[in-house]
Amino acid sequence: MKFTDVLGKNFALKNTIKKINGVEVEIKGYLDIVTFTNIIHLIADGCFEEGKYFAENREIMRRYAILKYMTNIDVTQGELNEVFKASQSGNWFAEIEKEVVKLPIWAEVESAIDAQIASQPSAFDNLCRNLAETIKIDPSVSLTDIKEVLDGLNKVNQKDFVEAAIENNLTKNKGGDENGGEKS
């Protein structure tokens, strides 16, 4: 039996049309691989600016991605601010979102976004990697050289460092490192 035979008899991959404020909006019922990947990277990567995580960006990028990739509404990256503002007014976005989030694929999208965000190295991870690389480069690195690196930590934002260290420790204690970096 061919895959297309099974597909034709058992799956209904279709888009739906929903009237939103009198306008017909097509809501996609399935995604191809490229679109699936684009959504995940748009949202997850959009949460980071210069290596720092900004949780608030997730919802901003999520709303934009829903319109851009899950509907026939034509939006551009330059309209990100307008999309976010407009999605807060009236009921129109809530109706679209309600249709999108009930799709089985959307749960997979959200799960993949969580995994992508969790896989990003923390400030503590970067510090440890940098120290390890320094020692690997020259195995004869003296304690004086390591002390210089550690003295450089005085320039690091102590609050961010402590938060990253605590988060890293909590992740390890919950078995996060044993599960491919995912938090429990």
Which residues form the domain of 171? 123-179
Q: Are residues 92 and 127 in the same domain?
A: no
Q: Are residues 99 and 134 in the same domain?
A: no
83 falls within a domain = yes
Q: Are residues 30 and 58 in the same domain?
A: yes
172 falls within a domain = yes
Q: Are residues 10 and 51 in the same domain?
A: yes
pLDDT in tens, 126-168: 777 777 776 666 656 566 666 676 777 667 776 777 676 677 6
Per the CB < 8 A criterion, the answer to whether 25 and 96 are in contact is: yes
Q: Are residues 100 and 142 in the same domain?
A: no
Q: Are residues 95 and 170 in the same domain?
A: no
CATH code for the domain of 29 = 3.30.2220
Last residue of a domain, one of 118, 150, 167: 118
Q: Which pLDDT does position 132 carry in this prediction?
A: 77
Last residue of a domain, one of 99, 118, 137: 118
Q: Total structural domains in the chain?
A: 2
Q: Are residues 92 and 146 in the same domain?
A: no
pLDDT in tens, 33-51: 999 999 999 999 999 988 8
Q: Which pLDDT does position 28 carry in this prediction?
A: 95
Q: Are residues 78 and 17 in the same domain?
A: yes
Q: Which residue has the higher pLDDT, 183 or 155?
A: 155
65-69 LR contacts (CB < 8 Å, sep 24+) = 65/39, 66/96, 66/97, 66/100, 67/93, 67/96, 68/42, 69/28, 69/31, 69/35, 69/38, 69/39
